[in-house]
Amino acid sequence: MIYFLIVLYALIMGAAAIVNRRNLGLTLTAANLLGSFSLLCTPFHPLFLLLGLIGLLGSALGNGYVLQGRIRPLHVAVRCGISIALFICYIFL
């Protein structure tokens, strides 16, 4: 079940990056896609989960700044919560 949630999160984030590629620019789009791809590689090595979640959190900060003009604390808190929940569930399940 946890792999399903990880793959779902990766696909949603990758799709969002592709949809907003013109607004995000090449660097942020690549960071989002790299983080999503890293999450998809989690079954091969657990380190990919950590790299993907950190990459997507970092790109979320850049996305917020580029798309909204500032970083929204609620958005960052929600993304941190999702990342921590996925990580804890992966470790303990």
Using one digit for the tens of pLDDT, what is the confidence trace for 22-75? 999 999 999 999 999 999 999 999 999 999 999 999 999 999 899 898 999 999
CA distance 40 to 22: 24
Give Cα 39 distance to the centre of its chain. Answer: 8
Pull the structure tokens for residue 15: 């799709």
Instruction: pLDDT band for 86, please (50, 70, 90 cuts).
Output: very high
Cβ contact 83:10 at 8 Å: no
